[in-house]
Amino acid sequence: KMAAAVVRLRHCGPDIFCRRVPERCPACGRPLHAAALPAAPVRLPSPFCRGHSQRGAFLLRPAGGAAFLGRYIGFFSIISCSSFSGIVYNYDEEGIHRDEMGWEQCISVPLVQPDMFGLLHQWDKLLEEFSAGENWLPHRYEEHEHNCYTYALAFINSVLTAQGKQHMSKSEFTEKFVIPQTKRASKYITLHQELMSKEFYIIHHREQEKQC
């Protein structure tokens, strides 16, 4: 079961987060119905998605089958690549997995854009052929040096090679694609946790505090 949406209000200065929009601003007490358009409530999109509906993406989920918004919160994650047929490929000490379920709440980094016509038709074949390689046999797995991230990034680099493009290092890919997504997810998780125990979560900005 997914949590209720998070809504943001900006009425009198601070950011106000809630599940349901109140009649009056919880910060200043004035009615919200007469507020100007910039103060209109905005529903924050969830950073999590169903991995099996993501086509040609790099996916992250918490280990152990936990949900990002469950009791276990963190980014100790299993990493995978998704096919265009809804299969999620990932690698662990048991070798390659081709999961048709289990990736219902993920962080997704899209890899194939709509204008990449060549990849759109070849992606699943490339992913299956790559995954059949000896590098991904169970006995090759090593928790820190040859793991699910190694597998996913190696596949991405194999696609870049086929396109005549330069490889990406783990640090480069992480900084450019993964960290922005996990930061966004982390902020959303914080809001979710705060709103589990209170009706409103109000963030005052430093500029406003100085003015006060």
pLDDT in tens, the chain (212 residues): 455 789 999 888 899 999 998 888 898 888 887 666 666 788 999 999 999 999 999 999 887 655 666 544 445 578 899 999 999 999 999 999 999 998 988 999 998 877 777 788 899 999 999 999 999 999 999 999 999 999 999 999 999 998 889 999 999 999 999 999 989 988 998 899 899 999 999 998 765 444 43
Question: Is 10 within 8 Å of 208 (Cβ atoms)?
Answer: no
- Going by C-beta distance under 8 Å and a sequence separation of 6 or more, which residues neighbour residue 186? 75
What pLDDT score does 78 carry?
85
Structure tokens, 19: 């599940």
What pLDDT score does 113 carry?
77
Rounded Cα gap, residues 182 and 187, in angstroms: 9
SS3 209: helix
40-93 tens-digit pLDDT: 788 999 999 999 999 999 999 887 655 666 544 445 578 899 999 999 999 999
Rounded Cα gap, residues 83 and 19, in angstroms: 34
What pLDDT score does 202 carry?
94
